[in-house]
Structure 1
Amino acid sequence: MDSYAVFLRGVNVGGINIKMADLREALQTPSFSGVKTLLASGNVVLHSDHGASAVKDEIEACLRKSFGYDAWVVVLPAARVAELIDSCSYPSDDKTTHSYVTLASDPAMLDELFAAGDALHGAQQERLGPEAMAWLAPVGGTLDSPFSKISAKPKFKASTTTRNLRTMIKVRDAATTR
């Protein structure tokens, strides 16, 4: 059985409120075991015999049925999450900046987002792999940062989600312990 990290897009923001206990219960299906939720922002670790694509499809269908919203998730093998974190050169803890990782289920959309960020003067970003990029924002200015505004555009909604690097580390740690 493989370990996966599941990152839900837009949970507990914008009117989509899901209690993590309810999410955990909804995902208790024959396809998944060891389901754990982390924080209140839609982070899940679980085990499955299915591949990442099948896990993604099943979770999105489950969320749509259980919670009645147009759900999108990014699913990565736990080992891949660890690799992405290890490849990030930005600090997980800094007094002046926050490090973020944007994950994508569609690498072409991440290519477009990365190119848009590249066009911003002074944007600090790095590509971590075909499914992830990291970027920096000033403490207290994340939502106002030019890159954050670009990544919030509706065209990226179905395929990308962003997490603080500290959250990614917590997900990695939870996914690698049984």
Structure 2
Amino acid sequence: MKYCAFLRGVNVKGTNMKMADVCQVFKEAGMKEVVSILASGNIIFSSDKKADELKKILEKAMSDHFSYEAFLFIKSQGETETFWNSNPFTKNEDLHIYAFVGNPGVDNMLMQEFDNAAKTENEKAQIVNDIFYWQVPKGNTLDSTFGKILGKKSLKDQFTSRNINTFEKILKKF
């Protein structure tokens, strides 16, 4: 089966790694047809194993190789397509749209945090097919109240986010 692994916290805040090295770790862990998309930690690969088993194997392999606490989220090709196809927002040059990949139920936790946060004009959130989507004006992602919540260390094992355009690039590589 084809999968995409979404790594959390790669090439930000001092956790730097070359995607060629990441792909090598995946291959050494037994993954096939390994390819990376962008430098933000999106790895497409094939395996006969189930996603929950792959998560354990790959988090350990990444943690051991790069000497950091790795968190990644595994989605099948079909699940990855759902992130792109379920986007509730209209593309707009002035706005970023993010989709959140995470543990079951993380969408509701994120919506609760979003509901409690101060919002800028045109900042919106919606859950579609158990996926949390966030629209925010460009330039406000890290400065927004909700954006600051996303950086909490206590949430690092719960989810990662990607710009919706990243999903389009991933799907083209599948």
Separation in 1 of the partners of 2:32 and 2:132? 29
Contact 1:96 1:139 in 2 (8 A): yes
Deviation, 1:119, is 2.4
Cα separation, partners in 2 of 1:30 and 1:15, compared to 1, 3 Å: closer
Name the aligned partner's letter for residue 160 of structure 2: T
Partner of 1:169 in structure 2? Answer: 168
Residue pair 2:29, 2:58 contacting (<8 A) in 1 also: no
Alignment match, 1:146: 145
Match for residue 60 of structure 2?
61
Structure 2 residue matching 1:27: 3-state secondary structure: helix
Q: Matched residues in 1 for 2:160 and 2:29: separation?
A: 27
Is residue 127 of structure 1 aligned with residue 127 of structure 2? yes
Taking a change above 3 Å as real, the CA distance of residues 83 and 109 of structure 1, as seen in their structure-2 partners, is closer
Deviates more, 1:152-161 or 1:10-19: 152-161
Q: Which residue of 2 aligns with 1:79?
A: 78
Which residue in the other structure is 2:13 paired with? 14
Letter matched to residue 139 of structure 2 = G
Rounded Cα–Cα distance in structure 2 between residues aligned with 1:140 and 1:10: 20
Residue in structure 2 matching 1:107, options 91, 104, 109: 104
Counterparts of 1:139 and 1:80, CA distance in 2: 27
Q: CA deviation at 1:121?
A: 5.0
What amino acid maps onto 1:111 in structure 2? Answer: N
RMSD, aligned α-carbons: 1.5
- Structure 2 match to 1:39: 38
Q: TM-score, normalised by structure 2?
A: 0.92
1:115 positional shift? 0.8
Task: Figure out how many residues of one structure are paired with residues of the other and give that number.
Answer: 171
Mapped partners of 1:57, 1:171: distance in 2? 22
Q: TM-score, normalised by structure 1?
A: 0.90
Whether the aligned pair in 2 keeps the contact of 1:110 and 1:160 (CA below 8 Å) is: no
Mapped to 2, the partners of 1:81 and 1:160 lie a distance apart of 15
Residue deviations 1:67-109 (CA, integer Å, cap 9, x gap) = 1100000110011111121111223x422101111111x2234
Unaligned runs of 5+ in 1: none
Name whichever of 118-127 and 43-52 sits farther off: 118-127
Q: Pick closer, same or farther for the CA change 1:139–1:51 going to 2, 3 Å.
A: same
Once the two structures are TM-superposed, the CA of residue 30 in structure 1 deviates from its matched residue by: 6.0
What SS does the corresponding residue of 2:28 show, helix, strand or coil? coil
**Quick one: structure 1 residues 11 and 107, their matched pair in 2 at CA, closer, same or farther if it must change by over 3 Å?**
same
